[in-house]
Structure 1
Amino acid sequence: MLNTRNLFVATFIAIISTYLMVFGENKTIEMIKEQYLFLLALLIISLAVIFFKFKLKDYELINFNKNNSFSLQSTLVFFLIFQVVDYIMEDGFIGMISQWFLYWVMGLIALLLMETINYYKNYQLIYNKNQNI
């Protein structure tokens, strides 16, 4: 079974390597800087996850997300559909791969949002249980 964290790290390395080979260092840095709002959102959501991890570190947590996972196969099909659309809409291969970093950031945001929601539900459950005592 693939570890999600390892998959995100591996894909990040592959994306940056591809960008550096195709676009060069300056264009790669420029393309990443253009996604600053998404990166800011990623930072804020990461802080929320860290906050809840810290608050709930001494409690046993329930995984509310166990039924909300996508298979790797459906994720790849979804990605391939977007690649075909980007190939057509972004004028070819270069335009298509220029969207990869955005997809990576959006995938990470989705993953962290699911984690944050899971932590929040656990936080509410523990908070309500402690108030009733």
Structure 2
Amino acid sequence: MNKPINLFALTFIAIIAVYLFVLGENKTIQILKEDYLYIVGLIPIAFAFLYFKYKLKDYEIINFNKNSDISLKSTVLFFLAFQVYDYYSEGGFIGMISQWFIYWIMGIIALLLMETINYYKNYELLQKTK
């Protein structure tokens, strides 16, 4: 899971840099404040992830998600489709880029959920073998 976390850190820096350059500091802070509930939603998912990761720290993890990996090409096409929709529904370029932070948070939520489910399946398998 280290590669996606590094990618998310780089994209977070890029999003904030674009926001500050295009929107300015006040609008950037306003966007981040408006989306605080999405960030709060990460907390229980992160706790569940850390719980299962701690419980399975001495065991080999089976990747149950290997057949459900989405290619970068399909991810980019999915993102572009939403960008076109946001461009028209949010009133142009500024409205479109103001949605990037929400997409970023949703990406982290999806990644954490997939990893937590994988750890949970490993945990269940371990409980059955005991």
Could you state the TM-score of these two structures normalised by the residue count of structure 2?
A: 0.95
1:52 and 2:82 are equivalent in the alignment:
no
Cα deviation for residue 61 of structure 1 reads: 1.2
Partner residue of 1:129?
Answer: 129
Question: In 2, distance between residues paired with 1:16 and 1:52?
Answer: 31
Question: In 1, distance between residues paired with 2:81 and 2:72?
Answer: 14
Partner residue of 1:61?
Answer: 61
Which has more helix, going by share of residues? 2
Q: Deviations over 1:39-73 (max 9, x none)?
A: 11112211111111111101111110011111011
Cα deviation for residue 32 of structure 1 reads: 0.9
Q: Which amino acid aligns with 1:28?
A: T
Question: In 1, distance between residues paired with 2:109 and 2:36?
Answer: 13
Partner residue of 1:76?
Answer: 76
Partner residue of 2:23?
Answer: 23
Cα deviation for residue 27 of structure 1 reads: 1.6
Identical amino acids, percent of aligned pairs: 64
Gaps spanning 5+ residues in structure 1: where?
none
Tell me the secondary structure at the aligned position of residue 44 of structure 1. Answer: helix
Cα deviation for residue 5 of structure 1 reads: 1.9
Partner residue of 1:111?
Answer: 111
Question: Structure 1: which 4+ aligned runs deviate by more than 2 Å?
Answer: none
Residues matched between the structures, number: 129
Gaps spanning 5+ residues in structure 2: where?
none
Partner residue of 1:13?
Answer: 13
Question: In 2, distance between residues paired with 1:8 and 1:36?
Answer: 18
Moved more, 73-82 or 29-38: 29-38
RMSD: 1.2
Partner residue of 1:42?
Answer: 42
Tell me the secondary structure at the aligned position of residue 64 of structure 1. Answer: coil
Partner residue of 1:32?
Answer: 32
Q: Which amino acid aligns with 1:20?
A: L
Question: In 2, distance between residues paired with 1:119 and 1:20?
Answer: 37
